[in-house]
Structure 1
Amino acid sequence: MDLAPILAAGLPLLGWTTHGTYLARRLATARRDPLTGLLTRDGFTTRAERLIRSHPDRTTVLLVDLDDFKAVNDTHGHAAGDTVLKATADRLTAWCGSSGLAARLGGDEFAVVALDSADRIPQLHTALRRPIDLDGLVLDVSASVGASHPAALLLTEALSAADRDMYAHKPGSRSSRRG
């Protein structure tokens, strides 16, 4: 039996399969933040838009920004900053549970889309304020959280509304001093 025709057809197929698998893994990796394991902006956007479209009346979009994060890096080093980012990611993931998505948009900014969660936002504030233990050094942390209830809005509009809400509550902002 002559195997040449089978090998001639099989080897390119094997090569394309291997290449396709490699590219799929690279794409999946690109959609996850390597430090926190959360989705990146690209990985988050498609899934968040789908969740909003599927459940517009039950969806809450949150934007989370760590307060004075630069001071953590400047005072305690980047390893401490990385620990704070990882702890924040873990807390957001736990708060979302299986009905939401969390992403690291960049730096110390995170986004969340979750179902039936508006009444649980105070618990998120509490979780994000818990001190972080770094080898015996206790780091006091806090985060500003802005919320939006998109209903029929686009994700970009919901994130903009959450951003405005977050800055209204951020320590030191002009609007937070009014109340």
Structure 2
Amino acid sequence: MNALLTAVSAAGPMACGWGVHGLLLGRRLTAARRDPLSGLWTRAAFERQALRILGRQMHTALVLVDLDGFKALNDRYGHAAGDAAIRHTAASLTDALSSYPGAVVGRLGGDEFAVVVPLPGTHTLPWLLDALHDAITAPFRHEDTDLTVGVSLGASLSSDLLPAAPQGGPEALSLLMRLADEAMYTAKRAGGGWCDPAASTPGCTTTAGRRTGRPGTTAKEVAA
């Protein structure tokens, strides 16, 4: 009995040490999957989570986000302002998606971001895109100056892939990324803003009755 108690007593600190080690390791792994500047998921981590969502949800939107005027902002105000724009975009995306349970957002690199959002129905996509656009293009403060960046958004819907591609899996994610990328560049060529994937005109000059190339598509100083 004494030998058993001695063994248990000796194992206690070791088990505690392994528990702490496991906790620290888990935190390090999570940190490695997070972009250090924005705090968002890195591309690989984002894609893993996107695949899980696509496998569970019928109506899922994939949105690609590309800032407009980012180089001009860097050139005029310096790289610190560019970093502030990246952090502002990350915070804006996170805030705008707070009312969409299960949404995942990541930074693909540079000034490019991606979002996967489970939707209650395809009719809600324009509201989502409008909310993301307005949040990102809102002024942000940097060194006592209000700045803005523009943004081009492109979206694709998982339910539009059926029956051409399976609901989930790498094939579906790759196709959704390509379609969203095409829509994003269509919006960018039209002057920025967002493009509904259901829009019938290739130029996508209007979306839901609103002008796609709205103000805020270049970096500028805003009067306080």
| TM > 0.5 | yes
Q: C-alpha deviations, 1:35-81, integer Å up to 9, x for none?
A: 2221222322222211122112x211000011131222222112111
1:12-161 equivalences in 2 (<5 Å)? 12-56=14-58, 58-97=59-98, 98-99=100-101, 100-116=103-119, 117-120=124-127, 121-151=129-159, 152=167, 154-161=172-179
CA distance in 2, matches of 1:122, 1:14: 50
CA distance in 1, matches of 2:204, 2:179: 20
User: 1:111 deviation in Å?
Assistant: 0.4
SS of residue paired to 1:63: strand
TM-score, normalised with respect to structure 2: 0.69
CA distance in 2, matches of 1:17, 1:137: 47
SS of residue paired to 2:117: strand
User: 1:4 deviation in Å?
Assistant: 5.5
Structure 2 unaligned runs (5+)? 160-166, 192-201, 206-224
SS of residue paired to 2:94: helix
SS of residue paired to 1:170: helix
Name the count of aligned residue pairs: 177
TM-score, normalised with respect to structure 1: 0.84
Contact 1:38/1:104 (<8 A) preserved: yes
Contact 1:132/1:141 (<8 A) preserved: no
**Letter of the structure 2 residue corresponding to residue 104 of structure 1:** R
Which has the larger share of helix?
1
In the superposition, relative to structure 1, how do residues 126 and 106 fare at CA in structure 2: closer, same or farther (>3 Å)?
A: same
**Letter of the structure 2 residue corresponding to residue 66 of structure 1:** L
CA distance in 2, matches of 1:164, 1:20: 43
SS of residue paired to 2:97: helix
Residue 178 (structure 2) pairs with residue 163 (structure 1)? no
**Letter of the structure 2 residue corresponding to residue 124 of structure 1:** L
In the superposition, relative to structure 1, how do residues 20 and 54 fare at CA in structure 2: closer, same or farther (>3 Å)?
A: same
SS of residue paired to 1:54: coil
CA distance in 2, matches of 1:64, 1:178: 16
SS of residue paired to 2:72: helix
The alignment yields a C-alpha RMSD, in angstroms, of 2.6
**Letter of the structure 2 residue corresponding to residue 119 of structure 1:** P
In the superposition, relative to structure 1, how do residues 50 and 177 fare at CA in structure 2: closer, same or farther (>3 Å)?
A: closer
SS of residue paired to 2:141: strand
User: 1:93 deviation in Å?
Assistant: 1.0
User: 1:92 deviation in Å?
Assistant: 0.8
CA distance in 2, matches of 1:63, 1:134: 25
**Letter of the structure 1 residue corresponding to residue 142 of structure 2:** L
2:199 corresponding residue in structure 1:
none
User: 1:172 deviation in Å?
Assistant: 6.9
